[in-house]
Amino acid sequence: MDALRQMGRAATRVRRGGHILTIADEELVPGDIVLLEAGDVVTADLRLVDCNHMQCDESMLTGESVPVDKEAISNTGAPQDLKTATAWKGTFVTRGSCVGLVIATGIKTELGQIAEVTDTAEGATSPLERRLQKLSEHLLLAVLALILILTISGVLAGRDIMLMVKTSIALAVAAIPEGLPIVATLALARGMSKLAARNALIERLSAVETLGSVTVIITDKTGTLTENKMTVTTLATPDRPDENNLEKPEAYGVRALRVCALCYSGDNADMLRDPMEKALVEAARTADMVPREMELAYPRIAEHAFDPAIRMMATVHRDGAGQYLYAIKGAPEAVLASVTCYNGAPIKPEIKQHWLDQMGNMARRGLRVLALADKLVPANSEAPFENLEFLGLVGLEDPPRADAAQAVRAAQAAGIRVVMATGDSMETGQSIAQAVGISAPDTMPVLTGEHVRQIAADGNAQPTAIFNTQVFARMSPGEKLTLIDFHQRNGAVVAMTGDGVNDAPALKKADVGIAMGERGTEVAKQAADMILKDDSFSSIVVAIQQGRIIFANIRKFVIYLLSCNLSEILVVAAAILLGMPLPLLPLQILFLNLVTDVFPALALGFSSGDAEILQRPPRPKSEGLIGARHWQAIVAYAGLMAACVIAAFVWALGQENTGVAYANTVAFLSLALGQLWHVFNMRSRKALLLDNQIIRNKLVWAAIGLCLGLIAIALSWSLIRDVLQLQQLDAKGWAVVAAASLGPLIFGQAAKELNTKFRRARG
């Protein structure tokens, strides 16, 4: 758990000793200089000493959903509201960037004061915990009613009152599965640990259960389905439109690479976190445009952060002649819409269309395409995205992950629909989607975020096209939110990936929000139910598989335990109704409950799962822990075990020169061993008879060995044998015990095989 906490801690960039470091939030101290940008969580109360178009979401403190504008603290002595010059711990940056001085940490922050007041608040229970609690309540009522009936029936039949009371109490203890909360907790904890080892960090326990019900995964492209190792491979400019302008760039190529060197988020080209910006800066370096030297020649005076609404960003620089250089990059459609100048002349519509066609050709090869532009003006008062001159298109290669196609196939085989929602162009999205198997060339055409908005705005529109589309391009965070809403209203259980600050609402709305651990913002991580440490789609499939395994293990444990407990009740009830002596004495029942039930059940909770679990359809979210067919199995197994034990007990009572104690011993051993062998009945219907998850589970064999040892001790140690009122058996007695204990296993396995063949025959 300490390791999980370590992975869940927020990281903060600070400037110490002239170096920029990334440290854990609890290492911050007053006086630290903190660097923040859009998507970062504020990890301490900060006084802002430098701001760049910064806004913060302070809704968690103030309840106001509108982001708050921030400004640096004034050095002029003019009156200023310090609230606008302060960023509070727990809020997050929605736009721009800043440099702040830490003025309070931990409990001394505004958030810390609130946390101190609410420290005693109780946490919410997960759906699985509520289901287990509901099951326990129903069992308690049923058992109390049944025990009362058995006690009254025994007394009316002339049984000793004290014996019936003791027996009823023992049966009540046996019937309630006390180990259920323990096994459920251990199974969940073990599952979370295994997921953490496979690069999936579960932030909320309820997500483990929900993962098994996921029917739709809405995934982004970059870094999740691709390697997130971008490389600039092509550069097409007005003077070199053949896309081969990297090695010896001409005039427009030099200007385009200058934009690559200057236009990035943050204040240090060596500390970039975005792989795309790293690739652009590296492309500039290959052309001998070192970012530090470029920044000395063109000092930055402002940054206009990337805006998902307009899909562009800009930086403003002062050049040596006293003019201002605007460097712009963004989506080709957006940049070309703002371009007015081309090759020194006004741009014509056919020229724009030519470059849009060129963008399509590059995107169809799987490249991520950006457009570059600039303008040189005498004043720094112009709108950044107007009157631009087009410099060219840059293509970045980000190949699909090696395991992405296999993971997509595994998800589809599990009955899960995989949908890509990317901010890239239609052609790029379709190319990668086909490469990893999300879509085929003959599938539904790609829809854009604009199409999603139009369908949502038209109240009479049928969203059939959305449900039949597997690739969505040019999607904004708001449009992803709409897409999730469509699927959820259609009855789907949605898992959604996200990394940006604007993805937080969609991550919260999804049934399972999945944040990226490597490139995700702190805001996205805090909004998510699960964090992928490696940003890989295959980790999502592993998490879904583990979620299904955990739920299946808990269900098997419950079925096993309840069928064993019910068999004990049925044995006693049958004896009372038939007017026979009690086959099981109170202490024998308690011994069975403590020994033969608990250890095999615990082992079931740690099963590695069925090999074909990902080939089954998702479990309905509304499905309970134990359904009607599971109750049928519980009653059938319990009845089978009880019938075999009663048959052995009747045989033992009819033997000469033996007494009731001999018959009790036969019944006790028949039921004890029968419950041990019954664990093998917990294999799934599709699993092989001699090669399945139960047989391969070493803990099951260890549990059986331990229980056999404890039973042997009870028979051989006179002290325990006398307490339990057991006797040594002869060869005939052991033969009957063997037959009676193996009977439920043999009949149970035969029934599974017949059921499987019947289902196959029906198709």
DSSP 365-431: TTEEEEEEEEEEES-S-S-TTSSEEEEEEEEEE-PBPTTHHHHHHHHHHTT-EEEEE-SS-HHHHHH
Closest CA to 339 of 324, 355, 363, 325: 355
310 vs 397: CA distance, rounded Å = 23
Residue 270 corresponds to which tokens in the numbers above?
């060596």
504 vs 542: CA distance, rounded Å = 23
Give, as one character, the DSSP assignment of residue 525. H
- Contact yes or no for 685/613 (Cβ under 8 A): no
279 vs 230: CA distance, rounded Å = 6
DSSP 348-380: PHHHHHHHHHHHHHHHHTTEEEEEEEEEEES-S
602 membership: H or E segment, kind and range: helix 598-605
Instruction: Please list, residue by residue across 548-568, b when 16 or more beta carbons sit within 10 angstroms of its beta carbon and e when fewer do.
Output: bbbbbbbbbbbbbbbbbbbbb
Residue 752 corresponds to which tokens in the numbers above?
């599974």
DSSP 701-737: HHHHHHHHHHHHHHHH-HHHHHHHT-----HHHHHHH
Task: Just list the catalytic residues.
Answer: 220
Tokens 């015990």 identify what position? 737
Tokens 């998510």 identify what position? 528
Go through the chain and tell me how many residues it has.
Answer: 763
352 φ/ψ angles, rounded to the nearest 5 degrees: -60, -45
Q: How many CB atoms lie within 10 A of CB 107?
A: 11
- Contact yes or no for 404/225 (Cβ under 8 A): yes
Indicate the residue type of 587: L
3-state class (DSSP) for residue 29 = coil
Provide the β-strand partners of residue 98. Answer: 36, 51
746 vs 758: CA distance, rounded Å = 18
